[in-house]
Amino acid sequence: MLHVRDLHAYYGKSHILHGVSMQVGKGEIVSLLGRNGVGRSTTIKAIMGQVHATGSVQFLDQELLGHKTYEIAHKGLGYVPENRDIFPTLTVEQNLILGMKAKQAGRAAPRWKLDDMYRMFPRLKERQNTQAGVLSGGEQQMLTLCRTLMGDPDLIMIDEPTEGLAPKIVELVAEYLKELKHRGVSVLLVEQKLAIALDISNRLYVMGHGQIVFEGTPAELKANETVRKEWLEV
């Protein structure tokens, strides 16, 4: 579904990604792990056309590099940024409605409706008429995830969804990610909490110094103490 080959990315003259290659198949949850500053978020931004990049990024057999971010989103690729990017003066429900795409000819009915969002996160239902800017951090994270889903993506890339959240909300987010898989949505997850990634992922990549240094299953990463100590553990 998503094939990234020899991806290089730059911030000005700074060369951040050095030949990243990875893929996400249909219905997979794939986690991208690594310490802060190794290029995980830059990888997602490069895929979404937000930073200068070279190489190849193909989604559903279409090349994405060179396209604008909104064009990439319309091809069925969703993105949940780490900074959430909610619309603070709009209500919860207005934020969710803004995430919806216009109906396209030949496209099946969307997989997600407002009721689905409220069922997964009842707190959003309680706050549906509240301005998003006064929500807690956990509530804003729920809202951002759900708003992206309302666009009915085939693959969703999520950057650090559990950062700064209370343990109970972290559990909710993990269940949410499993629900995506059950509905046929592929997931590329940037996550620092190794336990969550090992629990929900089909495959994992580990990054170090702007490159992929490990690819394998959760069982293979658990068994590879050298990789964990060198590239993940503090």
Q: Can you give the pLDDT at residue 85?
A: 83
The kind and range of the H/E element at 69 are: helix 69-74
Q: What is the pLDDT of residue 87?
A: 93
pLDDT at 107: 55
Total residue length of the chain: 234
Q: What is the pLDDT along the chain (234 residues), one digit of tens a residue?
A: 999 999 999 999 999 999 999 999 998 999 999 999 999 999 999 999 999 999 999 999 999 999 999 999 999 999 998 877 899 999 999 999 998 876 654 556 677 889 989 988 889 999 999 999 999 888 888 899 899 999 889 999 999 888 877 788 788 888 888 888 888 889 999 988 888 899 999 999 999 999 999 999 999 999 999 999 999 986
pLDDT value at residue 120: 83
**pLDDT value, residue 179:** 82
In terms of residue numbers, what domain contains 68? 2-231
**Phi and psi at residue 210, to the nearest 5°:** 75, 15
Count the Cβ atoms, other than its own, within 10 Å of residue 217: 13
The per-residue pLDDT for 102 is 67
Q: How many folded domains does the chain comprise?
A: 1
pTM above 0.85, yes or no: yes
Q: Could you tell me the CATH number of the domain that includes residue 16? A: 3.40.50.300
Q: Hey, is 78 helix, strand or coil? A: strand
- Give the integer Cα–Cα distance in Å for 67 and 48: 9
